Amino acid sequence: MSSKIKKKNNIDVTVDYKNVTEKSPKILFLDIESSPNLATVWSIWNQNIALSQLLETSYTMCWSAKWMGSNHVMFDSVQKSGKDGVIKSIYALINEADIIIHYNGKRFDIPVLNREFLLAKLLPPSPFKQIDLYQTVKKKFRFVSNKLAHITEQLGFAGKIHTTHKLWLDCMNGDEKAWKDMEKYNKRDVTELEKLYKRILPWIENHPNMGLYMHKDRPVCTNCGSHKVQARGYQLTKTMKYQRFQCQDCGAWLRGRKMIPRPDNKENILTQVIT
Ligand SMILES: [Zn+2]
């Protein structure tokens, strides 16, 4: 089967789906650490700091990342590669990723990196899907705190490494020992992120559909890509009925896209008028 997509510039591009090979997406776990903004202040209580009081704005000090399926945890820092180098190394990695998994990265890590890319005169990286585990934790569960440190501790993981603000300042001053501690801290966040992802996988809503990356000849789980899906009841919408499934590997609930036909051809289904 092939389909023709007409592009804006009137060039016909033919996609031959027979030649699309089954390939798992490249999934990257990512966490960045930023320096604090530096400012001169007259007092410490309820300060409204003017831009003229800023000495130095925040910059990306380091990042840690890991590909799903690999044991290697990567790290780069301004100490190792300089301010430009640390941005270029993460830019290259993001360009390879199909999906990026982070914790509050939709509000923090990704916009911060976008700012860095703009300042470095880099073009937008190739598009990727995002899975922000913070959003799943906040929406699906009620923990007393949604901080990664608390969640990972509650789930019995190794937990975040405890640090103080001084670690950031020592790193900014080029302290070698502090940078070793920062590397451990940053890498631990990434390994904890992967554990959290695997644990809450069936709870993640709107997970990028693994079935679209993997052209299998049978249905696969949207969240983990397993073909072990079992038919379990029906999923009803206001006017439609679909087969429901549960993934036997991760536990996610799924539904088919084909409507279960009715003998009356839906003639006896009414729907409410909402005014
Ligand atoms: Zn699954």
111-128 pLDDT, tens digit per residue, is: 999 999 999 999 999 999
pLDDT above 70 covers a percentage of the chain that reads 91
Q: Considering only 10-19, 122-131, 180-189, 260-269, which range has the smallest mean pLDDT? A: 10-19
Measure 194 CA to ligand 1 centroid, in angstroms: 16
| CATH superfamily ID and name for 27-38+56-203 | Ribonuclease H-like superfamily/Ribonuclease H (3.30.420.10)
Find tokens 């696969």 and name the residue.
220
- 1-60, pLDDT tens digit by residue? 444 444 445 545 555 555 555 678 999 999 999 988 888 888 888 888 898 998 888 899
Residue 184: pLDDT above 50? yes
Measure 196 CA to ligand 1 centroid, in angstroms: 15
Residue 271: pLDDT above 90? no
- Taking residues 100-121, what's their average pLDDT? 97
Measure 133 CA to ligand 1 centroid, in angstroms: 17
Measure 210 CA to ligand 1 centroid, in angstroms: 9
pLDDT at 6: 46
- Taking residues 88-114, what's their average pLDDT? 97
- Answer yes or no: are the C-beta atoms of 103 and 136 closer than 8 Å: no
Hey, is 153 helix, strand or coil?
helix
Tokens matching residue 117: 């890319």
pLDDT at 238: 86
Measure 253 CA to ligand 1 centroid, in angstroms: 8
Measure 248 CA to ligand 1 centroid, in angstroms: 7
Closest among 155, 103, 112, 109 to 131, alpha carbons compared: 103
Measure 231 CA to ligand 1 centroid, in angstroms: 13
Q: Which residues contact 4 (CB under 8 A, 6 or more apart)?
A: 12, 13, 14, 15
pLDDT at 189: 95
Question: What is the identity of the amino acid at 163?
Answer: T
- Protein residues within 5 Å, CB atom, of ion ligand 1: 221, 223-224, 226, 247, 249-250, 252
Q: What is the mean pLDDT of the chain?
A: 90
pLDDT at 263: 81
- Angle at which helices 133-140 and 176-200 cross, to 10°: 50
- Answer yes or no: are the C-beta atoms of 118 and 87 closer than 8 Å: no
Question: Domain ranges in the chain?
Answer: 27-38+56-203, 218-259
- Euclidean distance between CA atoms 204 and 10, whole angstroms: 39
pLDDT at 3: 45
Question: What is the identity of the amino acid at 189?
Answer: D
Backbone angles phi, psi at 104, to 5 degrees: 65, 20
Helix (H) or strand (E) holding 233, with range, is strand 229-236
Question: What is the identity of the amino acid at 184?
Answer: K
- Taking residues 69-98, what's their average pLDDT? 96
Measure 39 CA to ligand 1 centroid, in angstroms: 48
Measure 42 CA to ligand 1 centroid, in angstroms: 55
Closest among 86, 78, 92 to 26, alpha carbons compared: 92
pLDDT at 113: 97
- 194-236, pLDDT tens digit by residue? 999 999 999 999 999 999 887 667 889 999 999 999 999 999 9
Beta bridge partners of 5: 13
pLDDT at 105: 97
